[in-house]
Structure 1
Amino acid sequence: MKFSLFFEMQMPNPTPAAERQLFHDCVEQAVLADRLGYHAVWAVEHHGLREYAQSSAPEIFLAYVAARTTNVRIGHGVTLTPYRYNHPIRIAERIATLDILSNGRVNWGSGKSGTRTEQLAFESDLSSLDSQWLEAQRMIPRMWQDDVFEWKGEHFTIPPTQVCPKPVQQPHPPMFAACSTPSSSVRAGALGLGTLNFSAGTPRKLAKRVQDYRAAVAGAEPIAGITNHYACTPISVVLADDRKACEYGFRGGRYFWQSQLRYYGSEERPVGPLDADAGPLGEDDLRAAMDNRLAPDAPLTGVIGDPGVCREQVLRFQEAGVDELILVMQLGTVPNEIVLESIRTFGEQVLPEFS
């Protein structure tokens, strides 16, 4: 099983000075993960999702991380692929360049964006987001492999063009898709893509979702090869002190999900303070969350607690068939020193048991 880190670059009430510190903190966290043997660092692309995600230029952050690290893989989780965000040629060029500079460490994930904040800011045609995404998936691996690329499709007509440079990995970097529902995971599998999922559902439901994805991969008509890989992104704080880990972890998780819901839960476009709860949990709520972590039907949404508890939580993901946990440790309410302690504790006391 593989273990990675996920960066939204989240923070409540951002200021320019706090943003500057946040970016440098995230680099420090990624460098530590590289030293401890984590598999990958994944960064999102979001625009205008203030507080929930300050990561609007992941290609720059990931390039900087690549220059500061040696072994950890560099993951786009994901590039927004409809062309009002990023033209397919520019995506192919940037990913290939990053693959060269990282010596072949890039994982490339793609998505459509799911918020009105982003969609309307970029004047996207909402009715064609999916078909734009699918067409770009078919084009980009061809650009990486063909000496001269030419295309005539629904959204793009490109005359013979020499798209350069070419990536180090052959035939191209592994390809993944953002998946928010069981049906989208199945679709990704049918296209031969790896799948990137937010963690949700009971162990039984997760196992069924993984099984359905594997079945789709087995019968795939791949876009370009097959990346048979199922990844989840659980909220995570792992500390020697179980209660301390839970105080930070469940508080951070509540802020994460509430802030996400503000943007994804309706067609509104929040502007100004986000009004997500960044305060500590009450004693009763904290105790209930702690007691429920290892209940047989507890949703698999987090890896939170001391190393012993977290090993049991990870085992449930492993038994469900998950290939990679992309741990969301950088949470808006969790200080950098706690994130670093969590990365170190998990890397030294949990990761070796499963890698």
Structure 2
Amino acid sequence: MKFSLFFEMQIAEPSRRTERELFHQCVEQAVLADRLGYHAVWAVEHHGLREYAHCSAPEVFLSYVAARTERVRIGHGVTLTPYRYNHPMRIAERVAMLDVLSDGRVNWGSGKSGSRTEQEAFESDIPALRDQWLEAQAMIPQMWTRDVFEWQGKFLNIPPTQVVPKPVQQPHPPMFAACTTPASTLEAGGLGLGVLNFAAGTKAELTKKVDDYRAAVAGAEPIGEVVTNHYACTPISIVLDDDRKACEFGFRGGRYFWRSQQEYYAYTNRPIGPLDADAGPLSDEELRTAMDGRHADDAPLTGVIGSPAACREQVQRFQDAGVDELILIMQLGTVPHEVTMTSIRTFAEKVMPWFA
């Protein structure tokens, strides 16, 4: 099993000062992950999702990380590919350039965005987003592999063009898709794409999702030049020697993460101003319930939180379900940087060796 870090760049109380501090802290966390042997660093692309995700230019962050690291893979998780967000040619160029400068360390994930804030800010044709995403998936690997690319499609028409540079990885970087439903997971598998999936559901439910994905991959008609048979989950994670302290930070951070996400994705409004997301600590009863719930047979696989021993048990459930990679969400809006750094180190030293 592979272990990576995931960056939304959350800030519970954003300001220009805290943004600056956060961006530099995320780089420091990524550099530490490289030194400790993590597999990859993944960064989102979001626009206007104040508090929840301030990572609006992942290509800049990932380029900076690539220059400061040596081994860790550099993951777009994900690039918004409908053309009102990013023209497919610009995506192909940026990803290839990053692959060249990182000496072939790029993983490329794509998505549509389910947030009305982003959809309306970019004046997207919302019913067409899925088809625009699919057209971009077909175009971009061809741009990476053909000397001369041309396209006559449903949304875009491109005359013969020499798209440069070409990526280092051949035939091109591994391709992934953001998947939030069983249907999107099956679609990704049928297209030969790896899956980036927020952790959710019981072990039995996750096992079925992974099995269904493997079956879809087995019959894939790859939209790229190669099949990426890879299932990744993104659990909330804080790992410290002190189990209770880890849970205090981890469950508080997880609650803020999910509630701030819901403000943008679960409702039809477009939030402006501070979010209605609880950033405060859990009560003693809430914390006790959360801690006890980790060990239930039917516990939802949404986190890797607690002491190293408790986290090894949680990781084992993901491994038993057939998951290939855990992309751990340790950077959370309510968790201090020094706690995140300790968590990154503790996981690498006291959990990772049991599985990697």
Query: What is the TM-score with the length of structure 1 in the denominator?
Result: 1.00
Q: How far did residue 182 of structure 1 move? A: 1.1
Paired position in structure 1 for 2:81: 81
User: How far is 1:146 from its partner?
Assistant: 0.2
> Cα offset for 1:352?
1.0
- The answer for the alignment partner of 2:231 in structure 1 is 230
Pairing of 1:231-246 with structure 2 (within 5 A)? 231-246=232-247
Q: For 1:1-355, what aligned pairs fall within 5 Å after superposition?
A: 1-224=1-224, 225-355=226-356
Q: Deviations over 1:235-259 (max 9, x none)?
A: 0000000000000000000000000
Supply the distance in 1 between the matched residues of 2:349 and 2:185 (Cα, whole angstroms).
32
SS state at 1:223 partner: coil
Deviations 1:112-158 (A, max 9, x none): 01100000000001111010000000000000000000100101110
Residue 83 of structure 1: SS of its match in structure 2?
coil
1 CA distance for matches of 2:287 and 2:181? 29
State the Cα deviation string for residues 317-342 of structure 1 (Å, max 9, x = none).
Answer: 00000000000000000000000000
RMSD of aligned residue pairs (Cα, Å): 0.4
* Distance (whole Å) between structure 1 residues aligned to residue 76 and residue 23 of structure 2: 16
Q: Distance in 1 between matches of 2:23 and 2:269?
A: 28
CA distance in structure 1 between the aligned counterparts of 2:62 and 2:255, rounded to whole angstroms: 27
CA distance in 1 between counterparts of 2:275 and 2:166 reads 42
Deviations 1:26-54 (CA, angstroms, capped at 9, x unpaired): 00000000000000000000000000000
CA distance in 2, matches of 1:175, 1:123: 27
State how far apart, in whole Å, the 2-side matches of 1:94 and 1:86 are: 11
**Structure 2 residues without counterparts, runs of 5 or longer:** none
Q: CA–CA distance in 2 between the matches of 1:174 and 1:4?
A: 16
Distance 1:240 1:210 in 2: 31
SS across alignment from 1:200: coil
Q: Distance in 1 between matches of 2:51 and 2:267?
A: 17
Which runs of 4 or more aligned residues in structure 1 lie more than 2 Å from their structure 2 counterparts after TM superposition? Answer: none
Give the Cα–Cα distance (whole angstroms) in 1 for the partners of residues 138 and 186 of structure 2: 18
SS in 1 for 2:64: helix
* Stretches of structure 1 lacking an aligned partner (at least 5 in a row): none
CA distance in 2, matches of 1:242, 1:184: 36
Using the alignment, how far apart are the partners of 1:210 and 1:266 within structure 2?
29
* In 2, Cα distance between equivalents of 1:188 and 1:247: 36
Q: Secondary structure at the match of 1:138?
A: helix
Cα separation, 2, equivalents of 1:208 and 1:270: 35
Q: Which amino acid aligns with 1:230?
A: Y
Give 1:69 deviation, angstroms.
0.2
Shift of 1:22: 0.2
Q: Deviations over 1:181-217 (max 9, x none)?
A: 1111111000000000000000000000000000000
**DSSP-derived class of the 1:26 partner:** helix
User: TM-score, length-normalised on structure 2?
Assistant: 0.99
* Equivalent-residue separation in structure 2 for 1:152 and 1:141 (angstroms): 16
Report SS of the residue matched to 1:284. Answer: helix
Letter in 2 for 1:324: E
Equivalent residues, number: 355
